[in-house]
Amino acid sequence: MLIVTEHFPVLVIVISMLSAFTILIAGRWNKKTCLPISIATISVQLFMALFILNQVITRGTIHYRLGGWAPPWGIEYVIDAFNAYVLVIVLFICLLTAIYAKRSIEREQPHRIVPFYVVFQLLITGLCGITVTGDIFNLYVFLEIASLAAYALIAVAGRRALKASYNYVIMGSIGACFYLLGAGFLYAVTGSLNMADLSHLLPPLYENKVVQAAFVFFVVGMSIKMALFPLHIWQPDAYTYAPSAVTVIIAAAMSKVSIYAFIRVFFSVFTTEFIRIYVPIATAISWIAAIAIIVGSIIAIMQSNLKRMLAYSSVAQVGYIVLGVGLYSTQWGLYGALMHILNHALTKGCLFLVAGAIIYRYGLWNIHDFVGLGKKMPYTCAAFTIAALSMIGVPPSVGFITKLCLLAASLEAVEYAFVAVILASTLLNLVYFWRVIERMYFVKGEGEEEKEIRKDEAPMSMVLPALILGSLCIIVGILWLAGTETPLLPVVDHAVNALLGTGVVAAP
């Protein structure tokens, strides 16, 4: 067994790819085999990811040389605490989404079950690939796999989703092109594509304009992919019109992976020294993030479509993460950003699961129609409320921790404007979530004053994932605040150290 475990970094991708094509063949024979194969694969992947995480914590960074070729020439998979942390989050969300997708897709796309699961599995392949690779060109390849799969999954819904998907294709392709240009520039200057190798070769070339241009291309390209504020225009439509299950995986898993790639290039290919001295971009990025937080929240308040409101809320949440990245020089900045990756995956995953469940059961998407929903769907609405509280940042939740970290970072950087922004956005969050919660629980419908409202929940396979994510928001928060011997703390600490230390960690 010991020997097999060494190959987990590559197996996590390979079995996903094999499974996608197995689903294709098995699905032609019997449609009902798609879901079990998909869930089995993701479970195995999640197990591998947890094992990798454990190994990274106990034994340090994992290096895997594909085909036995030494790093600067061959492709190398490098997994440190940050990769493993993101990998576990992403696969966990994927697993819950796969379970959730069963009923959701049967209802929304009954004729495309087989293609859905094939492309879904390919999307997961791409996401895992981006996360484990230590090679900037390989990252681009997986980025394209994941993006193409996402375009297809969004377009599945037809009609308005086609336009949303087309927008995403154009914007996403520009983003990927910028990333590729950046990688090409670096290759032209250094002759290497390996991240660790680049971080050694680049420092003498930091004054080179080509290197600086490459950095800017990377930042802008990845900003499009992760929907940072001025470049977010593809995102609300894509999230709103995609099938429910697809929205969950794109909002909760795929945006996290884009942010992972952004942070990885930021700190591991380039270094903090480069960002501090040669391209002083940190302050600018923090301000963009601050604007994103405020604008995203304000636009979210104006929405009446629940999914669209959550989409704009995501714009604001990406702002939080980037704000943390911009404040990397403080003690809590990057820590807060990484915690917020977890927070946003849990809460936004949960909220979109609930939005999908409400659409599944009652076909409601307009917030004004949610009257009395709290009694009709008690568990679903409970999950929504918990996740909303976490997003607002009410104490025992994980959202409170990230806001605390970001506040501490802003205070340490003596940027009181950011403190004001975070506090103001908390109020704005409260406003737009309260609208929904108020309708669910407190507003009485006309003419149904004391009438008994029949309880009619969404199916178990849709409610349970939402409840799991909702309760995790609280559990993680309490564990953190209690300061007990949780495995989570060292993971995030390790991840921050890996990023701010010597890059991807020098090859042994």
Partner 1 sequence: MNTENSATGEGKGGDVIVETVSRLMVPFIQLFALYVIIHGAGGPGGGFQGGVIFAASFILLVIAFGIVDAGDRFPEAVNTNLFSVGVYIFAGVGLLCVILSFGAAQYLNYGFIPLTTHFEENRALGMDLVEIGIGITVMAVITSIFFNLVWKRESEEEVGEKEEQE
The whole-angstrom separation of Cα 256 and Cα 435 is 27
CB of 26 to partner 1, least distance (A): 10
Distance of CA 120 to the CA centre of its chain: 16
Distance of CA 182 to the CA centre of its chain: 23
Shortest distance in whole angstroms from residue 199 CB to partner 1: 23
Shortest reach from residue 18's CB to partner 1, in Å: 5
From the CB of 43, what's the least distance to partner 1, in Å?
19
**DSSP SS3 for 106:** helix
Min dist CB 115 to partner 1, Å, is: 8
Which CB sits closer to partner 1, 77 or 266?
77
**With respect to partner 1, which residue has the nearer C-beta, 68 or 204?**
68
Shortest Cβ distance from residue 29 to partner 1 (Å)? 10
Could you tell me the smallest distance in angstroms from the CB atom of residue 158 to partner 1?
7
Could you tell me the smallest distance in angstroms from the CB atom of residue 17 to partner 1?
6
Nearer to partner 1, 447 or 508 (CB): 508
> Count H helices, E strands: the chain?
22, 2
Distance CA 326, CA 286 (A): 5
| HEC secondary structure over 24-61 | HHHHHHCHHHHHHHHHHHHHHHHHHHHHHHHHHHHHCC
| Helix 416-441, helix 306-326: angle, nearest 10 | 160
Q: Which is nearer to partner 1, 119 or 253 (CB)?
A: 119
Tokens of 399: 């959202």
In sequence order, what are the residues at sequence separation of 6 or more whose Cβ sits closer than 8 angstroms to the Cβ of residue 392? Answer: 399, 426, 429, 430, 433
**CB of residue 320 vs partner 1: minimum separation in angstroms?**
38
Name the residue nearer to partner 1 (CB basis): 7 or 368: 7
Nearest approach, Cβ of residue 111 and partner 1 (Å):
3
Q: Are residues 161 and 176 in contact, defined by beta-carbon separation less than 8 angstroms?
A: no
Q: Are strands 76-79 and 62-65 parallel, antiparallel or unpaired?
A: antiparallel
Comparison of 75 and 391: residue with beta carbon closer to partner 1: 75
CA 270 and chain centroid, separation: 22
Task: Check: CB of residue 131 under 8 Å from CB of residue 93.
Answer: no
Provide φ and ψ at 78, rounded to 5°: -120, 125
Q: Which is nearer to partner 1, 157 or 226 (CB)?
A: 157
7: part of which helix (H) or strand (E)? none
* CB 388 within 8 Å of CB 472: no
The smaller minimum CB distance to partner 1, of residues 28 and 32, is found at 28
Beta carbon of residue 142, minimum distance to partner 1 (angstroms, whole number): 15
Q: What is the DSSP string of 109-150?
A: -TT-HHHHHHHHHHHHHHHHHHHHB-BHHHHHHHHHHHHHHH
Query: 191 Cβ partners below 8 Å, 6+ apart?
Result: none
Give the whole-angstrom CA distance, residue 411 versus residue 418: 8
84 φ, ψ (degrees, to nearest 5): -65, -40
Report residue 99 as tokens: 């379970």
| H or E, element range at 64 | strand 62-65
C-alpha closest to that of 64 among 53, 81, 78, 83: 78
Which residues contact partner 1 by CB under 8 A?
Answer: 3-4, 6-7, 10-11, 14, 17-18, 21-22, 24-25, 28, 64-68, 110-112, 115, 158
Specify the residue, 32 or 276, whose C-beta has the smaller distance to partner 1: 32
Taking the least distance from each CB to partner 1, the nearer of 11 and 216 is: 11
Cβ-based nearer residue to partner 1, 6 or 273: 6
